Amino acid sequence: MLNHDPARRPPPERMRGLSLIEILILLIILGILFFVALPILRRSRILNHEATAISTLGLIRDQQVAYQQSMGKLGTLSDLALVNRIDPALATVPVAGYRYRLTLGATEAEGGGGAAGAGPHVEGGAGSGTWWCMAAPEAYGVTGERLFFVDQSGVMRARETGGADFETPETAVTWHAIKDE
């Protein structure tokens, strides 16, 4: 006798997997998406590092003014760090892909190393009341593409580095002014 139970269904067809061609097409599409997204992600990272450098220079500018008002003299990056006004790392190592150098008067104060591979510059004093600070990318085209500069005037300036390292304030004051973010 045949069992014709209406609740019983015939077994489902065997599930079919992806063919080799379908997998290859999927991998090609994913590869194209990856190579389209990679430059966008790199550019986003550079813009993030540059925005951080601008913000950090703004902080250094503001804290230098506060330090001078409270201590009666200008401070080096280490001085500002000692009184908890800035991150101590700014005085010695690159931060968010940028190195920082602070100069007081006509003498260099330490900050984030000089030329590539050189140690930090340690000198300085209160100087003549003038100071400037520059931020340079640790690796041009990878961590940043612009140099940033601020001095006692408070005007933030920038220019494309073209791979250049720190420059003198005489050339930096000719760069275009930017609005710090």
Cα–Cα dist 57/69, whole Å: 18
For residue 11, tell me if it sits in a domain: no
For residue 35, tell me if it sits in a domain: yes
For residue 150, tell me if it sits in a domain: yes
For residue 12, tell me if it sits in a domain: no
Of the pLDDT bands very low, low, confident and very high (cuts 50, 70, 90), residue 17 is: confident
Cα–Cα dist 163/92, whole Å: 21
Least confident among 19-33, 87-101, 121-135, 159-173? 121-135
For residue 102, tell me if it sits in a domain: yes
For residue 10, tell me if it sits in a domain: no
User: Between these two residues, 47 and 110, which has the higher pLDDT value?
Assistant: 47
For residue 76, tell me if it sits in a domain: yes
Q: What are phi and psi of 77, to 5 degrees?
A: -60, -40
Q: How many domains does the chain have?
A: 1
Output the pLDDT for position 2. 58
| Structure tokens that stand for 47 in this block | 């813009």
All residues at 6 or more sequence positions from 104 whose CB lies less than 8 Å from its CB, including other chains:
74, 76, 124, 125, 126, 127, 130, 131
Q: Please compute the mean of the pLDDT values over residues 59-75 and round it to a whole number.
A: 90
Q: Which single residue is written with the structure tokens 């250049």?
A: 164
Cα–Cα dist 67/128, whole Å: 15
For residue 4, tell me if it sits in a domain: no
Domain that holds residue 102: 20-178
The one-character DSSP state at 123 is -
What percentage of the chain carries pLDDT values higher than 70? 77
Global confidence as pTM: 0.70
